[in-house]
Amino acid sequence: MDTILTREERAKLGREARSRVPASSHRGWKPASDRPDPIALLEEQAKTRVPQLVPIRYGRMAVSPFTFYRGAALPMAVDLAPTPVSGLTVQACGDAHLSNFGLFASPERDLLFDINDFDETLPGPWEWDLKRLAASLVVAGRERGFDATANAHTAHAAVHSYRVRMAEFAQMSALEVFYSRVDVEAITTYVNKRARPFLESTVRSTAKHDSIHELPKLTEIDSDGRRRIKELPPVLYHMTEMTDEVRSIGFAAYRDSLTTERRVLFDRYEFVDWAIKVVGVGSVGLIAAVVLLDEGADEDPVFLQVKQAEASVLERFLGPSTYATAGERVVAGQRLLQAASDVMLGWAVGPAGRQAYLRQLQDQKGSAVIEVMTADDLVAWGKLCGWALARGHARSGDPVAIAAYLGDDNAVDHAIAEFAAAYADQNEKDHAALVAAIASGRITAQSGV
């Protein structure tokens, strides 16, 4: 068993790390002379994806610099890999942009704010998550037309929130950190009053997102009187030839990944239908599906989302995951980072050896709607993201050491905000490169889906 360090010894580790890697080392960013072509990196990822879906991914990424950023976790991981880090490891989200945070219902039916995407999770530097979050806020702010001063303020506020919250977690016991959560009651009193209408609207919308509300949207009754998932090619369609394999192989493995009481819950439902459902931006091209389960006669529908999982983009720099499958890696990372995870969360190895994880498709989930955000809204959302990220990192890493590294000044806040602005510049260039690659015929994109 490892020796347990005292709080002072842990704080000393953080202070020593800051002496080796000062806050100023995080300031700004410039591309390496041998920086890989970002479009080539996307083409590399496409080799393991469903060929007919890859053009949809490119089309979605080409819409704007922000949508490009959402899909560019690998290019940014390549860029972050050579940057200075403190050496203080956490369970990194791996793709901590602002759209990967949001509201969802806990098993106790409380609305919580937390990270909600874990496809790239892996133990790694806390700095990488914080830098990806800060840069996403600047990219989003530019998309909304906010000026440089407003965008710098937004990034600075998010990092400041992370630093202040980490200092609070450093004063807590391990159990207090584990039990902590960012709930709706806390955040509605925390955010600036000018941003409350946006947050309150998001909360109201979130309450309407569940399986009962999704049933008429996603399904219809066929000519034989059976409920079926609606077709909307190319983003929602059936693959009937795989149905028996999904039922016999995928669900058996998934059930085994659940804890005993959740197996009892799962066993109350029967399979009704399933279909491929293309979601997101960065994950487009990987197999994603929606499965309709029911307790009987439409009385209790549940939609499960099945998402194919591959190696994290961080693994090429930090080493391979210790888990047997990528699906288990995602689930374990989610359970470690989130305050409360979906009761149906599990993993499986399905047809053709595809590794996947499963969770409810809609269970009172709500995310940022960038298109309607004011500058105040974006600042408030960024602060909440910083808070939630700090909570996850404190739960999975050492909050005392990280807080000691961050210190009680704003040097890290300013440094990472400067990084965010510089990286947003590079992101715009990379987006332009994608648009040019589409125009030249180098890659094919499908827009509007």
pLDDT tens digit string along 248-258? Answer: 556 888 999 99
Please tell me the pTM assigned to this model. 0.93
Mean pLDDT of 260-269: 94
pLDDT average, residue stretch 415-442: 98
Task: Flag whether pLDDT at 155 surpasses 90.
Answer: yes
pLDDT of residue 190: 67
More confident residue, 351 or 17: 17
pLDDT at 93 over 90: yes
pLDDT confidence of residue 104: 82
For 283-333, what is each residue's pLDDT tens digit? 898 988 899 998 875 567 889 999 999 999 999 999 999 999 999 999 999
Per-residue model confidence (pLDDT) at position 209: 57
Best CA proximity match to 375, nearest among 100, 135, 147, 103: 147
Spatial neighbors of 307 by CB under 8 A, at least 6 apart, are 119, 279, 283, 286, 287, 288, 356, 357, 358
Looking at residue 200, its pLDDT comes to 67
Report residue 448's pLDDT band, with 50, 70 and 90 as the boundaries. Answer: confident
For residues 389 and 96, the answer to whether their CB atoms sit within 8 Å is yes
Who has greater pLDDT, 239 or 388? Answer: 388
Task: Tell me the one-letter amino acid at 412.
Answer: V
Among 318, 281, 316, 309, residue whose Cα is nearest residue 126:
318
pLDDT the model gives residue 410: 95
Task: Flag the least confident range among 68-82, 144-158, 342-356, 408-422.
Answer: 342-356
Q: Confidence class of residue 103 from pLDDT cuts 50, 70 and 90?
A: confident
- What residues have CB less than 8 Å from 340, skipping those under 6 apart? 106, 107, 108, 110, 112, 181
Residue 209 tokens read as 């997102």
The rounded distance, in Å, linking the Cα atoms of 324 and 306 is 18
Query: Three-state SS for 321?
Result: coil
Sort strands 346-349 and 288-294 into parallel, antiparallel or unpaired: unpaired
User: Read out DSSP for 424-439?
Assistant: HHHHHHHHHHHHHHHH
Answer whether 301's CB lies under 8 Å from 307's CB.
no
Size (the chain), residues: 449
Neighbours of 296 (CB within 10 A): 9
**What average pLDDT does the segment 431-441 reach?**
98
Q: What pLDDT does residue 1 have? A: 55
Average pLDDT over residues 352-375: 82
Nearest-angstrom CA–CA distance, 109 and 131: 32
Give per-residue pLDDT as tens, 165-188: 999 999 999 999 999 998 877 776
Q: Specify the pLDDT at position 245.
A: 54
Q: Which residues contact 179 (CB under 8 A, 6 or more apart)?
A: none
Encoded tokens for 8: 């002072």
In DSSP terms, 113 is beta-bridged to 103
Phi, psi of 275 (to 5 degrees): -155, 155
Helix axis angle, 7-20 to 399-406, nearest 10°: 40
Q: What type of residue is 258?
A: L
> What's the pLDDT score for residue 253?
86
Q: Which of 83-97, 188-202, 229-243 has the highest mean pLDDT?
A: 83-97
